[in-house]
Chain A
Amino acid sequence: MKRIGVFICHCGINIAGTVDVKRVAEEVAKLDSVVYAQDYIYMCSDPGQALVREKIRQEKLDGIIIAACSPSLHESTFRTAAEEAGLNPWQCEIANIREQCSWVHTDRKKATEKAIRIVSTMVEKTRLNESLEPIPVSITKKALVIGGGIAGIQAALDIADSGHKVILVEKESSIGGHMAQLSETFPTLDCSQCILTPKMVAAGKHRNIQLMTYSEVEEVSGYVGNFNVRIRRKAPFVDWSTCTGCGLCMEKCPAKVPSEFDRGLSTHGAIYIPFPQAVPNKPVIDRESCIYFKTGKCRLCEKTCEIGAIKFDQEDQIIEEEIGAIITATGYETLPVTELQEYGAGEVPDVIDGLAFERLLSASGPTSGEVRRPSDGRVPKEVVFVQCAGSRDPERYRPYCSKICCMYTTKHALLYKHRVHDGQPYIFYIDIRTGGKGYEEFYHNAEQDEGIIYLRGKVAKIFRDGDKTIVWGTDTLTGRNVEIQADLVVLATAVVPRESTAELVKKLRIQTGPNGFLSEAHPKLRPVESINSGFFIAGVAQGPRDIPETVAQASGAACKVISLFSRDHLEQDPAIAWVDEELCGGCRICISVCPYDAREYDEEKCIARVNEALCEGCGSCVAACACGATQQRNLSDSQIKSMVTASLGGE
């Protein structure tokens, strides 16, 4: 017979206010196997834990139950305390009488009865608990970072600096992401490329970073510490190992392709490097636009290249890698202007989005930093900025705040004013949100000293009239509708997750929230981890955020990876499924129901095995198993049966 001790926590008045804890102690003391039952005001406090340890020794307990809050909060606290007193941690169970009892009931008598049943149920479980040992799992100390924007670059650099190998995968031909497109950054107005390019170069040259640009993750299998990753290196049709990046081929290419980097405000050839500071600084041929690929004639680039680096017969390569942890930092897109019908749906030439305006402001942009409007190249004298273009509009577009627009629009208006002194910027906004170090001051200065007119209200309609763009809006602060004959309109379009992220998360088997951004394990306490172990997240792929936050989060994610890699092996919870090989008929229903790919078929023995490293102990296969061959450790059929009986009042 087991000797079980029950420790009932008051949690101040959280439990004791609704549940008669003394009575719970009296009643459970009467149960078989229970040799000790005691209540205490805060069981998780040091004296509370000391009481647990003392009684385990004194009463020679071989099973304990802590009746308190959810096991997600203090299970590890009490299992550690048990272990310190010489008890196997899996002989310690938590009876949740707070979240599932005192917090959801008001009737003291009934809540007390329920608490007694919850504890009795755990007594039944504990009676049959086995002592278990954690399962050691090996770990490959090499990280994969998906996405070469500032988040991915920062995470890769931090991991690499700690001495671990990193593969940085980027689907474009250069790392840099959106930050490389920006002109200057708020609130300090330092040049974006000036602060980004040193990091790009560092990532490109770091001995621990293997850069894989123009590449995409095809498939991920395995589990934390032991992932197998297949990466597709798209054919650039240029031999990057011999190419010197001289750029002659790009000069000769007769094709004209709108530059994605310049948001369509300039063109490049079919063979191109997206921007001068690209890392690696090697061109790719855009197969869709290349005259040779389309017509079979041209090959001008090939003729120009003296070293013969152009390789039209190049094919995609598949590379397989063993990886221990994966950081997803795939960034964002912005809502296309074409989706905003009332703002001209992309048909009005002088209505552009914020990223396009960044390119107009950028010294390396298509106008070398002079603000000239797309339609006729004139310098606009009246510029209207429209915030919340698609954000905070749950009925038609996106329900959330895109967070960065208030600040970047103010920056845009400010930089415009710095470039065009006699120009007049107007900003339409719903609210101005400037939460961040130095942000309110930045906005205050722009509003007070730069002559920017802020108009509180949404713009209803934007349309073309001659060479003017008419903006109909309102100013709720005067209660007057407003019309502005603008020369240029800049829309702060909603930040949205990349379309490709949706496909990627299916391959990684990580989760996204309702708006398509990556989900974190806990919104406050585990913000850089995915719920699936071994996967970490960083940057705007998780939700709209600015550069400082992105960098901080990327370093946070890297730190999690480094902490994972600091161990020699991982410990897996042993309370998982196991198979009675005598009973298993090899029907494989378990394999079909397992959400973690943890069940596999043994061809030799014709049975289904459990991959202990992958099994999360969810119990799906246990429930599905027709012949009872699959069982869960410390949740056997007989345990569940007696627990159900106890929960029903012992009848």
Chain B
Amino acid sequence: MSERTGLAPPKSPPVRLTRETVSGGFKKRVIELSGQNMDSCYQCGNCSSGCPVAQEMDILPNRIMRLAQLGLKDDIIHSATLWICASCFQCTVRCPRGIDIQGVMDTLRQIALDEGVDHFGPDQIDPEQAASVPQPGLVGVYRKLST
């Protein structure tokens, strides 16, 4: 499709679900690192509706959970949501299925960093601003948001 001239590349290509995707490596790793069973999530959306920073996210927390259930790693690790999340624990406290959603978010950030996905780089800060930001702040932000 995308090779045809004059047409924009498809934005929602179909995903091929296999045993490996839905119960394989990525999903096992999330479960292992977070200790949480994402399959318990029934998509009520309570995590998203109560999230204080949801309006800044590209993918709402409940959908992150859904993508994790299906093992769709690429969609997750490139999402800005992981870095917008303020780790306030609101979602964890409210989840009716008792999932530590914040813990899952932590895990997903860790996996994203392991996969070499930088959310933030030196070229993204302009030199003037860099001069005014305290050094510990810069170190902190690089530590949290890049590899």
**Nearest-CB residue, chain B, relative to A471:** B17
Q: At the interface with chain B, which of A195-203, A477-485, A632-640?
A: A477-485
Interface: B69 (CB within 8 A): yes
The 7 closest A-B pairs by CB, nearest first: A481-B14, A424-B19, A448-B40, A477-B66, A453-B22, A483-B16, A483-B14
**Nearest-CB residue, chain A, relative to B71:** A453
Interface: B57 (CB within 8 A): no
Interface: A382 (CB within 8 A): yes
12 extra interface residue pairs, beta carbon distance < 8 Å, beyond A423-B19, A424-B22, A483-B14 = A382-B18, A426-B22, A447-B39, A478-B66, A478-B67, A479-B12, A480-B15, A482-B14, A483-B15, A484-B17, A484-B18, A485-B16
Interface: B72 (CB within 8 A): yes
Residues in chain A within 8 A of chain B (CB atoms): 381-382, 422-424, 426, 444, 447-449, 451, 453, 455-456, 472, 475, 477-485
**Nearest-CB residue, chain A, relative to B37:** A448
Contact of A447 with B42 in the complex, beta carbons under 8 Å = yes
Chain B residues with CB under 8 A of A448: 37, 39-40, 97
Contact of A381 with B63 in the complex, beta carbons under 8 Å = no
Interface: B70 (CB within 8 A): yes
Chain B residues with CB under 8 A of A480: 12, 14-15, 72
Chain B residues with CB under 8 A of A453: 17, 22-23, 69-70
CA gap between A478 and B72 in the complex, in Å: 10
Interface: B49 (CB within 8 A): no
Contact of A382 with B70 in the complex, beta carbons under 8 Å = no
> Would A382 and B19 be within 8 Å (CB), given that A448-B37, A478-B67 are in contact?
yes
Contact of B15 with A424 in the complex, beta carbons under 8 Å = no
Chain A residues with CB under 8 A of B70: 453, 475, 478
Most chain B beta-carbon contacts within 10 A, residue among A423, A480, A482: A480
CA gap between A426 and B16 in the complex, in Å: 13
> Would A478 and B63 be within 8 Å (CB), given that A424-B22, A447-B42, A448-B40 are in contact?
yes
Using C-beta atoms within 8 Å of the partner chain, give the interface range for chain B.
Answer: 20 to 34
Contact of B40 with A447 in the complex, beta carbons under 8 Å = yes
Chain B residues with CB under 8 A of A482: 14-17
CA gap between A449 and B40 in the complex, in Å: 8
CA gap between A423 and B22 in the complex, in Å: 12
What's the nearest-Cβ distance from chain A to residue B75, in Å? 8
Contact of A424 with B23 in the complex, beta carbons under 8 Å = yes
Interface residues of B in 41-71 (CB under 8 A from A): 42-43, 63, 66-67, 69-70
CA gap between A422 and B20 in the complex, in Å: 11
What's the nearest-Cβ distance from chain A to residue B18, in Å? 7
**Nearest-CB residue, chain A, relative to B72:** A478
Chain A residues with CB under 8 A of B16: 482-485
Of B14, B19, B72, B97, which contacts A381 at CB under 8 A?
B19
A sample of 14 inter-chain contacts (CB < 8 A) reads A424-B19, A424-B22, A424-B23, A447-B40, A477-B43, A478-B66, A478-B67, A480-B14, A480-B72, A481-B12, A481-B13, A482-B15, A483-B17, A484-B17
Interface residues of B in 2-38 (CB under 8 A from A): 12-19, 22-23, 37
Contact of A451 with B39 in the complex, beta carbons under 8 Å = yes
Chain B residues with CB under 8 A of A479: 12, 63
What's the nearest-Cβ distance from chain B to residue A327, in Å? 40
Chain B residues with CB under 8 A of A478: 63, 66-67, 70, 72, 75
CA gap between A356 and B59 in the complex, in Å: 41
Most chain A beta-carbon contacts within 10 A, residue among B37, B70, B97: B70
**Nearest-CB residue, chain B, relative to A382:** B19
CA gap between A455 and B43 in the complex, in Å: 11
What's the nearest-Cβ distance from chain B to residue A468, in Å? 11
Chain A residues with CB under 8 A of B12: 479-481
What's the nearest-Cβ distance from chain B to residue A439, in Å? 14
Contact of A481 with B15 in the complex, beta carbons under 8 Å = yes
CA gap between A444 and B97 in the complex, in Å: 10
What's the nearest-Cβ distance from chain B to residue A461, in Å? 12
Most chain A beta-carbon contacts within 10 A, residue among B13, B39, B40: B39
Of A381, A426, A449, A477, which contacts B17 at CB under 8 A?
A426
Chain A residues with CB under 8 A of B69: 453
Most chain B beta-carbon contacts within 10 A, residue among A423, A424, A456: A424
Most chain B beta-carbon contacts within 10 A, residue among A426, A472, A477: A477
Chain B residues with CB under 8 A of A477: 43, 63, 66
**Nearest-CB residue, chain A, relative to B23:** A451
CA gap between A424 and B19 in the complex, in Å: 6
CA gap between A158 and B68 in the complex, in Å: 52
CA gap between A478 and B13 in the complex, in Å: 12
Interface residues of B in 75-132 (CB under 8 A from A): 75, 97
CA gap between A152 and B22 in the complex, in Å: 44
**Nearest-CB residue, chain A, relative to B27:** A451
Chain A residues with CB under 8 A of B75: 478
Chain A residues with CB under 8 A of B22: 424, 426, 453
What's the nearest-Cβ distance from chain A to residue B32, in Å? 15
CA gap between A66 and B63 in the complex, in Å: 62
Chain A residues with CB under 8 A of B67: 478
CA gap between A472 and B19 in the complex, in Å: 16
CA gap between A447 and B66 in the complex, in Å: 13
CA gap between A479 and B11 in the complex, in Å: 11
CA gap between A239 and B67 in the complex, in Å: 64
Chain B residues with CB under 8 A of A451: 23, 39
Chain B residues with CB under 8 A of A422: 19
**Nearest-CB residue, chain A, relative to B15:** A480
**Nearest-CB residue, chain A, relative to B99:** A448
What's the nearest-Cβ distance from chain A to residue B60, in Å? 11
**Nearest-CB residue, chain B, relative to A474:** B14
CA gap between A127 and B39 in the complex, in Å: 74
CA gap between A478 and B65 in the complex, in Å: 10
**Nearest-CB residue, chain B, relative to A432:** B42
CA gap between A447 and B37 in the complex, in Å: 10
What's the nearest-Cβ distance from chain B to residue A50, in Å? 53
What's the nearest-Cβ distance from chain B to residue A146, in Å? 42
What's the nearest-Cβ distance from chain B to residue A355, in Å? 26
Most chain B beta-carbon contacts within 10 A, residue among A423, A453, A482: A453
Contact of A485 with B18 in the complex, beta carbons under 8 Å = yes
Chain A residues with CB under 8 A of B63: 477-479
CA gap between A422 and B23 in the complex, in Å: 10
Chain B residues with CB under 8 A of A447: 39-40, 42
What's the nearest-Cβ distance from chain A to residue B4, in Å? 19
Most chain A beta-carbon contacts within 10 A, residue among B17, B18, B75, B97: B17
